[in-house]
Chains A and B, each alone.
Chain A
């Protein structure tokens, strides 16, 4: 009896994990292999570089690359700075900080598509930005931000909309990270007369490093997948890699090219994760928190 009990206790954790392992194998591992095959195998089964060649030779390819990386380097730092400001404010536990945490967190549950549409109402020619701009006398005639000719306008609109949405995710990671820092550190800094700004730079930021790093990795990876916010604000006037994958399947019904772009996304995700881990010298324990 005792023996049987011990046996089931040994097997139980594996039995509990098995369903999710099988499911993730079926719906993640197999599709990944199939995506690879779609990219390098023609319909008749012969291996070919035709699709990869067509992708790299496509008119939108280099633009998609440039725009995806451009959005990444513009959006991620902006998000981290904004989120850090929010998190530090919340962590100072002023009266009513709970309400502000709730407000800052609302965009957590908003899709990038919806965020794009929200900001569309602001950036369109007869939108709220121009209304306010003209109201305070900044502009004489309403400029058109979201047009094919105005690359800077399109880019700025996407950067603002996506920063607005995803800052909440970073903010929550940082607030959670701040809570892990023992109060003693803050009190010690107070004791030595550190003012708020010096305390933040010399005590809080170094201790918050693991959270900042995981936020950086997560946001970088998801920045590659930026897609619906771009379509909502710029249509097809600003190609990005994820939107190319979508268009090749949804509009051109070409699974081979769509899969090639999808593989490119996966390669970027893996490459950047590895680079970050090397450069930042993350330990396994720190990655876990991501």
Chain B
């Protein structure tokens, strides 16, 4: 073997090993979620789907509260997306297009809020929401999710708008557009794919958030809040089905966002 072959074998070998480390748990939760409920007691476990069954998943989806919690999760995420884009995209546009006093200060505030522990928001807000009638209400959860997602959305949309040439907008303005119509007709259409990625990113933040959702709700649970609450008293197969159901969207989302991964999570 020459040095080149050794080199390539090493690269592919370690790349595949690391890929297995990531993939194998997905495969095993798939096996667990698609076997019969009683199979959790089987030992040793089959490593190939010998007893494929949708019984466990059906049990999970028909359990009290699960369907409603999925709807709640989607509603919370939808409100969060609308709010954080409506508030954050203008700020992102301002960061991308203007130099102004206090710009650095604003960026620092955004960075600081990005790292804020969610516990310190959720607990006082639970107390406040009880008074305001927003406790155990999906709007209350969405408000907290928005404050978590907003710093990310501001930074991501700033990147998106910075990628849309300012000259095109200026050209539209010399041709008689106002700044607003130039934005609407020129910058916005070009920024749309990036904004869609920001929206999906926001969905992921909201769909996955456990702490605030659990603290702020009692009956109007989101899916993670319901599963977390059920951890103590539900059977293993319920947890496995719930785990699989929560994980599934991740695989799809990351696939759609693969072009934006570095911009969204890479922190540039």
**Which positions in A face B, CB cutoff 8 Å?**
10, 12-14, 16-17, 19-21, 23-24, 27-28, 30-32, 34-35, 38, 82, 85-86, 89, 92, 94, 97-98, 100-114, 117-122, 124-128, 130-132, 134-135, 142, 164, 168-169, 172-173, 175-177, 179-180, 196, 214, 218, 221, 224-225, 227-228, 231-232, 235, 242, 245-246, 249-250, 255, 258-259, 261-263, 265-266, 269, 273, 287-290
**Which positions in B face A, CB cutoff 8 Å?**
7-8, 11-12, 14-15, 18-19, 21-23, 25-26, 28-29, 31-32, 40-45, 47, 86-88, 90-91, 93-94, 97-98, 100, 102-103, 106-107, 109, 111, 113, 115-128, 143-144, 146-147, 150-151, 154, 179, 204, 207-211, 214-215, 224, 227-228, 231-232, 236, 239-240, 242-243, 246-247, 249-251, 253-255, 258, 261-262, 265-268
Q: Given A94-B12, A261-B119, are A255 and B25 also a contact pair (CB < 8 Å)? A: no
Q: Is the CB of B154 within 8 A of A20?
A: yes
* B86 proximity list for chain A (CB < 8 A): 19
Q: Is the CB of B106 within 8 A of A17?
A: yes
Inter-chain pairs besides A118-B247, A269-B116, 15 sampled, C-beta below 8 Å: A19-B91, A21-B109, A23-B147, A28-B121, A32-B121, A85-B14, A89-B11, A104-B22, A110-B208, A112-B210, A114-B246, A131-B43, A225-B119, A228-B224, A287-B111
Q: Given A19-B90, A109-B204, A121-B243, are A250 and B215 also a contact pair (CB < 8 Å)? A: yes
Q: Is the CB of A179 within 8 A of B262?
A: yes
Q: List 28 A-B pairs, Cβ < 8 Å.
A: A10-B100, A12-B98, A17-B90, A20-B87, A23-B146, A27-B144, A27-B146, A34-B124, A89-B15, A92-B11, A98-B258, A107-B22, A110-B246, A113-B227, A113-B246, A117-B227, A117-B246, A118-B26, A168-B22, A175-B266, A224-B117, A235-B232, A246-B214, A250-B215, A259-B123, A266-B117, A266-B120, A290-B111
Q: Is the CB of B127 within 8 A of A34?
A: yes
Question: Smallest CB–CB gap between B238 and chain A, Å?
Answer: 10
Q: Given A12-B94, A19-B90, A27-B143, are A173 and B265 also a contact pair (CB < 8 Å)? A: yes
Q: Is the CB of B254 within 8 A of A111?
A: no
* B45 proximity list for chain A (CB < 8 A): 126-128, 131
The listed residue (A34, A89, A130) touching B128 by CB distance below 8 A is A34
* A180 proximity list for chain B (CB < 8 A): 268
* B268 proximity list for chain A (CB < 8 A): 176, 180, 289
* B12 proximity list for chain A (CB < 8 A): 94
Main SS of chain A's interface residues?
Answer: helix
Q: Is the CB of A111 within 8 A of B208?
A: yes
Question: Smallest CB–CB gap between A273 and chain B, Å?
Answer: 7
**Lowest 8 CB-CB distances: which A-B pairs, in order?**
A176-B266, A117-B243, A111-B208, A109-B250, A34-B124, A16-B94, A27-B147, A13-B98
* A35 proximity list for chain B (CB < 8 A): 120, 123-124
Q: Is the CB of B19 within 8 A of A100?
A: yes
Question: Smallest CB–CB gap between B195 and chain A, Å?
Answer: 15
* B227 proximity list for chain A (CB < 8 A): 113, 117
Q: Is the CB of B100 within 8 A of A242?
A: no
* A92 proximity list for chain B (CB < 8 A): 11
* A131 proximity list for chain B (CB < 8 A): 43-45, 47
Q: Given A23-B150, A255-B123, A266-B120, are A126 and B43 also a contact pair (CB < 8 Å)? A: yes
* B29 proximity list for chain A (CB < 8 A): 117-118, 121
Q: Given A31-B128, A38-B127, A118-B28, are A104 and B19 also a contact pair (CB < 8 Å)? A: yes
Question: Smallest CB–CB gap between B41 and chain A, Å?
Answer: 6
Which of A86, A113, A122, A179 has the most chain B CB atoms inside 10 A of its CB? Answer: A113
- Chain B, residue nearest A245 (CB): B119
Q: Is the CB of B215 within 8 A of A130?
A: no
In angstroms, Cα B10 to Cα A196, docked, is: 12
Q: Given A12-B98, A102-B254, are A38 and B231 also a contact pair (CB < 8 Å)? A: no
In angstroms, Cα B179 to Cα A109, docked, is: 37
* B42 proximity list for chain A (CB < 8 A): 126
Q: Is the CB of B123 within 8 A of A119?
A: no
In angstroms, Cα B255 to Cα A210, docked, is: 28
The listed residue (A117, A250, A261) touching B239 by CB distance below 8 A is A117
Q: Is the CB of B267 within 8 A of A290?
A: yes
* B116 proximity list for chain A (CB < 8 A): 28, 32, 266, 269
